[in-house]
Structure 1
Amino acid sequence: MRVLVTGNQGYLGTVMVPELVRAGHEVTGLDSGFFAECVLGTAPAPPPQLRVDLRDVTVDQLAGFDAVVHLAALSNDPLGALTPRITYDINHTASVRLARLAKDAGVQRFLYASTCSVYGAAGSDLVAEDAPLRPLTPYAESKVRVEDDVAALADSGFTPVFLRNATAFGFSPRLRADIVLNNLVGYAVLTGEVKVLSDGTPWRPLVHARDIARAFAVCLTAPAPAVHCRAFNVGAETNNLTVAEIAQAVVAAVPGSRLVITGESGADPRSYRVDFAAARRELGFEASWDIPAGAAELAHEYTARGLTADGFFHRFTRLAHLTALKDAGVLDDDLRRSRIEA
Structure 2
Amino acid sequence: MRILVTGHLGYIGVELTPLLVELGHDVVGLDTDYFAEGDFLAPPDPLPNLGIDLRDVTPLHLAGFDAVVHLAALSNDPLSDLDPNLTYDINHAASVRLAHAAKAAGVSRFVFSSSCSLYGKTADAELDERAAFNPLTPYGESKVRVEQALSQLADSSFSPVYLRNATAYGLSRRLRADVVVNNLVAHAVTTGKVMLQSDGTPWRPLVHVLDIAQAFVAALAAPRHAIHDQAFNVGRVGENYQVRDVAQLIAELAPGCVVTYAEGATADIRDYRVDFTKIERELPGYQPQWTVRDGIEQLLAAYSGGGMSPAGFAGPKFFRLRTITQLLDRGDLDTKLRWTHRHSHAPSPERQPA
User: For residue 326 of structure 2, what is the aligned residue in structure 1?
Assistant: 324
Size of the aligned set, in residue pairs, is: 342
8 Å Cα contact 2:116/2:164 also seen in 1: yes
User: For residue 163 of structure 1, what is the aligned residue in structure 2?
Assistant: 163
Larger deviation, residues 308-317 vs 232-241: 308-317
Please list, as runs of the form range in 1=range in 2, the aligned pairs for 1:11-160 lying within 5 A after superposition: 11-160=11-160
User: For residue 352 of structure 2, what is the aligned residue in structure 1?
Assistant: none
- In structure 2, give the amino acid aligned to 1:198: S
**Cα deviation code 1:81-123 (max 9, x no counterpart):** 2210101100000000000001111110000000001110111
Q: Does 1:307 align with 2:308?
A: yes
User: For residue 277 of structure 1, what is the aligned residue in structure 2?
Assistant: 277
User: For residue 7 of structure 1, what is the aligned residue in structure 2?
Assistant: 7
- Shift in Å, 1:263: 6.0
Distance in 1 (CA, whole Å) between partners of 2:44 and 2:310 is 23
- Shift in Å, 1:265: 4.1
Distance in 1 (CA, whole Å) between partners of 2:78 and 2:151 is 27
Please list, as runs of the form range in 1=range in 2, the aligned pairs for 1:287-298 lying within 5 A after superposition: 287-298=288-299
8 Å Cα contact 2:191/2:310 also seen in 1: no
Distance in 1 (CA, whole Å) between partners of 2:306 and 2:17 is 21
- In structure 2, give the amino acid aligned to 1:289: W
Distance in 1 (CA, whole Å) between partners of 2:306 and 2:105 is 42
- Shift in Å, 1:59: 1.6
Distance in 2 (CA, whole Å) between partners of 1:241 and 1:95 is 31
Q: Aligned pair in 2 of structure 1 residues 127, 41: CA closer, same or farther (>3 Å)?
A: same
- Shift in Å, 1:305: 6.2
8 Å Cα contact 1:78/1:319 also seen in 2: yes
Q: Aligned pair in 2 of structure 1 residues 228, 235: CA closer, same or farther (>3 Å)?
A: same
Segments ≥4 residues shifted beyond 4 Å: none
User: For residue 333 of structure 1, what is the aligned residue in structure 2?
Assistant: 335
- Shift in Å, 1:151: 0.9
- In structure 2, give the amino acid aligned to 1:49: N
Distance in 1 (CA, whole Å) between partners of 2:237 and 2:280 is 11
Distance in 2 (CA, whole Å) between partners of 1:308 and 1:124 is 39
Identical aligned residues as a percent: 53
Report SS of the residue matched to 1:216: helix
- In structure 2, give the amino acid aligned to 1:330: D
Q: Does 1:221 align with 2:221?
A: yes
